[in-house]
Amino acid sequence: MASKLTQLQSKACQASKFFSKHGSAYYKQLLEQNKQYIQDPPSVEKCNLLSKQLLYTRLARSASLDLFPLLKTGHMHDINLLHAS
């Protein structure tokens, strides 16, 4: 058990050293790849718009997850019955 802990600590130390050397280059590369998604300069209006979009995305995802058991069991016709009434 102690040897596993030592191995884990060694790997964590190696990872820490790697990211301290190469982390900034990786961060810059990510920024460059995602430049199209960055709003510059930031504005309150854009922040509010993105916040609403995120909310609606989460609501839609939640609704689709609620329907998944119906799709899986083949009870999709139950939804049609709900909408018909």
Q: What is the mean pLDDT of each run of 10 residues along the chain (85 residues)?
A: 86 88 88 87 90 90 70 55 50
Which is nearest to 53 in space by CA: 70, 37, 32?
A: 37
Residue 13 lies in a domain: no
Domain that holds residue 77: 47-85
Domain count, the chain: 1
Whether the CB-CB separation of 46 and 39 falls below 8 Å is answered with yes
Residue 80 lies in a domain: yes
Q: How far apart are CA 18 and CA 26, in angstroms?
A: 11
Residue 85 lies in a domain: yes
Residue 76 lies in a domain: yes
Residue 2 lies in a domain: no
pLDDT at residue number 15: 86
